[in-house]
């Protein structure tokens, strides 16, 4: 397949951005001052949240994080509600709404982490004046604190009252509940009518960058069958090629035909084959049995696929189906695709929002911002609103490194910087601000 030229052009020629900072207005100076004044409080809140285990499967811990955050949103004039996650097998979500007259802005975060109750990595550890390590410190309790810290600064400056903001903090971003139509309903409902969406994930770890396009993440399951028989009779008319050779043919054609398309990734993560096999409902655990002198009867392969746009996803699925439909002698095959995270394709609206972030960054003295290569951006909740909101940006949460590991570390120096940028962007969006400022 050929790459799509419009996407390559958008990636190759980023939006030109002004290099000069502009003076802050009176309200904006008050916003920035509040961020500095309250930074110690924000750090204290971050430590408190990190010390609460909220692995996705720890429903009580996820709710405890929400219980800490909810009264803080209430104090700012938000109307908050808890959405129970029982229908989709998870703890639930926290939604906070502030219905002002301005354009609607959607803020996205999540309460859960990848570190479950049994993980040895449980507590905040201050490494020095500028760094701290802890479970979820950047993914994404730091982002949640930046979001709340920015809203508090807007409140202190007396401008939050005129703003229309809805916050969705999912409780299952790291392991989404099923069906997705239920687990992401609150997020998608909140996106209705929004002018912009900001996701506070930690992004690529570089505070000078933000995510304006993300690849979607979906699953696929390949099954092949063959005629069992004595291995000495393989390739004959009665036996044919067997299930393993059929699976090998398909995987090889996937690689040779599709692996060179830019920003397309697909990976077989689990392969089982033999005379008998079983695989669990998650597609991650199974067992197989067979003998070297018996032609394999069945193979199952489960895999992951990443695409940058709905069009790329549709094309790739069609190509994979066509490859699967051609069979070696004596075999058959099927492929099924699971719905997962949709892609967030590059768009002009997303680039405008990046330009607005870049302007705010320069205006607070933090320098320019650029777009993250989507090949370095994993799936995230903001993708579920990609088709619903004209301007979207993500990866503007707390920066650091080694998320999803026991070395997850935050750069605490960036907490006030990233908060100031977020607050200014929200304020300027609320006033109909274009990329050039007010």
Which H/E stretch holds residue 14? none
Q: What is the DSSP string of 180-200?
A: HHHHTHHHHHHHTT-SEEEE-
d(CA 250, CA 255) in angstroms, rounded, equals 9
Coil vs helix vs strand at 306: strand
How high is the pLDDT of residue 154?
98
Q: Which strand ranges, in their side-by-side order, compose the sheet holding 409-411?
A: 125-128, 131-133, 409-411, 400-401
d(CA 359, CA 363) in angstroms, rounded, equals 6
* 248's tokens: 């090998």
How high is the pLDDT of residue 367?
96
The sign one gets for the Cα dihedral 264, 269, 274, 280 is negative
Q: Is the whole-model pTM more than 0.95? A: no
DSSP label at residue 230: B
* Phi, psi values for residue 213, rounded to 5°: -150, 140
How high is the pLDDT of residue 19?
58
Q: At a CB cut-off of 8 Å and minimum separation 6, what does 311 contact?
A: 4
Identify which of 199, 170, 201, 167 has the alpha carbon closest to the alpha carbon of residue 185.
170
Work out the number of other CB atoms within 10 angstroms of the CB of residue 277: 19
Which H/E stretch holds residue 68? helix 59-75
How high is the pLDDT of residue 377?
80
Q: Where are the domains of the chain?
A: 13-214+344-430, 216-341
How high is the pLDDT of residue 55?
98
How high is the pLDDT of residue 376?
82
Fold of 216-341: Alpha-Beta Plaits (3.30.70)
* Per-residue CA distances from 228 to 223, 276, 295, 301, 331 (Å): 15, 10, 5, 19, 10
* Per-residue CA distances from 25 to 20, 239, 348 (Å): 16, 79, 27
d(CA 308, CA 47) in angstroms, rounded, equals 35
How high is the pLDDT of residue 16?
38
pLDDT in tens, 327-374: 999 999 999 999 889 999 999 999 999 999 999 999 999 999 999 999
How high is the pLDDT of residue 17?
41
Those residues of the chain that have pLDDT short of 50 are 1-18, 434-438
Q: At a CB cut-off of 8 Å and minimum separation 6, what does 9 contact?
A: none
**CATH number of the domain located at residue range(s) 13-214+344-430 in this protein:** 3.40.630.10
């Amino acid at each position: 397949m050929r790459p799509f030229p419009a996407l390559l052009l958008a990636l190759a020629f980023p939006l030109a951005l002004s290099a000069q900072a502009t003076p802050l207005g009176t309200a904006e100076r008050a916003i920035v001052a509040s961020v500095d004044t309250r930074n110690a409080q924000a750090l204290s809140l971050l430590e408190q949240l990190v010390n609460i285990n909220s692995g996705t499967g720890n429903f009580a811990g996820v709710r405890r994080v929400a219980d800490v955050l909810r009264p803080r949103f209430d104090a700012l004039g938000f109307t908050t509600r808890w959405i129970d996650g029982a229908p989709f097998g998870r703890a639930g979500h926290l939604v906070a709404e502030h219905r002002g007259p301005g354009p609607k802005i959607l803020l996205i975060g999540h309460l859960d982490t990848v570190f479950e109750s049994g993980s040895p990595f449980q507590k905040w550890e201050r490494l020095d004046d500028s760094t701290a390590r802890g479970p979820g410190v950047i993914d994404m309790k730091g982002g949640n604190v930046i979001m709340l810290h920015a809203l508090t600064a807007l409140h202190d400056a007396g401008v939050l009252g005129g703003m229309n903001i809805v916050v969705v903090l999912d409780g299952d971003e790291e392991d989404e509940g099923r069906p997705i139509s239920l687990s992401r309903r609150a997020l998608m409902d909140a996106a209705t009518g929004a002018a912009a969406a900001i996701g506070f994930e930690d992004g690529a770890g570089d505070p000078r960058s933000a995510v304006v396009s993300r690849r979607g993440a979906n699953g696929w399951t390949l099954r092949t069958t063959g005629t069992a028989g004595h291995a000495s009779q393989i390739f004959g008319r009665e036996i044919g090629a067997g299930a393993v050779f059929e699976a090998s043919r398909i995987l090889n054609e996937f690689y040779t035909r599709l692996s060179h398309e830019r920003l397309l990734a697909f990976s077989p993560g689990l392969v089982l084959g033999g005379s008998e096999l079983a695989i669990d409902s998650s597609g991650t655990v199974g067992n197989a049995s067979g003998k070297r002198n018996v032609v394999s009867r069945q193979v199952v392969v489960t895999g992951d696929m990443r695409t940058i746009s709905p069009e790329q996803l549709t094309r790739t699925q069609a190509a994979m189906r066509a490859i699967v439909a051609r069979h070696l002698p004596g075999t058959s095959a099927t492929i099924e695709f699971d719905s997962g995270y949709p892609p967030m394709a590059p768009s002009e609206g997303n680039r405008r929002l990046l330009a607005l972030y870049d302007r705010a960054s320069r205006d607070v003295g933090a320098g320019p911002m650029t777009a993250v290569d989507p090949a370095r951006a994993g799936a995230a909740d903001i993708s579920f609103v990609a088709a619903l909101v004209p301007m979207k940006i993500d990866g503007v949460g707390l920066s650091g490194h080694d998320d999803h590991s026991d070395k997850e570390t935050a750069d605490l120096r960036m907490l006030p910087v990233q908060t100031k940028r977020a607050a200014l962007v929200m304020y300027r969006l609320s006033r109909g601000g274009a990329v050039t400022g007010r």
